[in-house]
Structure 1
Amino acid sequence: MTKLSVNINKIATLRNSRGGDTPNVVQFGKDVQRFGAEGVTIHPRPDERHITYKDAYDLKPIVYTEYNIEGNPIKKFTDMVLELKPTQVTLVPDAIDAITSNAGWDTIKHKDFLVEMIAEFKRNDIRTSIFVDPDLKQIEGAKATGTDRIELYTEAFAHQYSLGNKAGIKPYTACAELANQLGLGVNAGHDLSLDNIKFFAENIPGLLEVSIGHALIAESLYLGIENVINMYKGKLAVGSRQ
């Protein structure tokens, strides 16, 4: 069964737009779990323009499902993760000024760096995942880093699916199959939505977790957060491929 982890960055964006504490990020973290989410994801950035480092600490005591912290492993981020010891750290090669994640790691070029970072997190009993493009060489490179899992960067799939090109799933299926053969867990995220999640899950063998934020929060404006979480879970239950 594929787990749904809700990325709550957009809740912090809305809060920060008024400079107060509404909506309350911690309460929202509690609520998404109460409504059925199997994890909470955050992605603090160096400029703290949405989720802040303080939020990361405030959320730690209330996340009783899986706590996934994403980000570029700069020193401040790494120190925070090692102190908080979330369930999972997902390493993303974000540029400082990136609006959102826009590329996976070059696991071959950055092998030595990733090996060092991943070893440190694993010494602290933190499950590791690295954000990768759907490229077989990058999956092989990911295996060499010692990571526990990969997170497939799904923007290209989502774009092709919106154009009616279902063949856009093929490189993702191939990468998931290779990851399974290599003993890597498979996560996925970015631009997954109620429109495409069932088809994606149907075609990705061994999909362990999806982290969804922007689309899920936008859909919730019309349909309600509790309803949307359960709609995702229903589509994942039907679509999950072993």
Structure 2
Amino acid sequence: MPCFRSGATDAGPSFDQRLPETDVILICVKPKQAAEVVDALRRGGVRRDTLLVSILAGVTIARFEQLLDVPTPWVRAMPNTPCVVGAGMTVVAPGTHATDTHLQLAERIFSSVGRCRIVDESYCNAVTALSGSGPAYMYLMMEAMADAGVRVGLPRDLALQLVAQTMLGSARMVLERNRHPASLRDNVTTPAGCTIGGVLMLEDGKIRSVLARAVEEATRIVEQLGRPGK
């Protein structure tokens, strides 16, 4: 499966096979290179039945369809970096000419590196801000918690392992037990215990609103990235 990608010098998109031989093309470049990708597709003689899968943040399928002006099936996808270790989260959304078969193919591709959900394209910008950018939020919290562990006397490597495994285990509890995070938190928060003290400190720091505002701001930026000329 060929993949359009940005070169190290940002000289423009390139591809690794002749397009007429290609059934699926994964497009992984910066949003501002959308028009360049379409030009490359046109020059390469892309077939009308080739499935084109874009992971460009903020760029709508309608824009790609308008630029290419050929009834080719497009699917918009938004994966995240944990795909590298098989624990990714991806959503896929169909374009005008994408059939259920095309959508299922895209879903199988991304399910091979984690979980995948089919969604309406209107959700894609919010998904980008939440799960696409989400690993960065998680890493920031992990770093802060590991620093806290060091502050109270733990070796740094131990503190980081404790934090990373705790976050991994907590995520699996939500996904595999199918319970709301608040319910699972109650299991840990015993009366007059240390956990409720820590939770109240987090609430005093307005952690809920800060995280929510981070996602809101990232969504706003994603919407701007997808505009022509950006």
Higher-helix-fraction structure: 2
Q: Using CA pairs under 8 Å that are at least 6 residues apart, name the structure with larger relative contact order, 1 or 2.
A: 1
- Please indicate, yes or no, whether the TM-score normalized by the shorter chain is above 0.5: no
Normalised-by-shorter TM-score class = 0.3 to 0.5
Larger Rg: 2
Scaled by the length of structure 2, what TM-score is found? 0.32
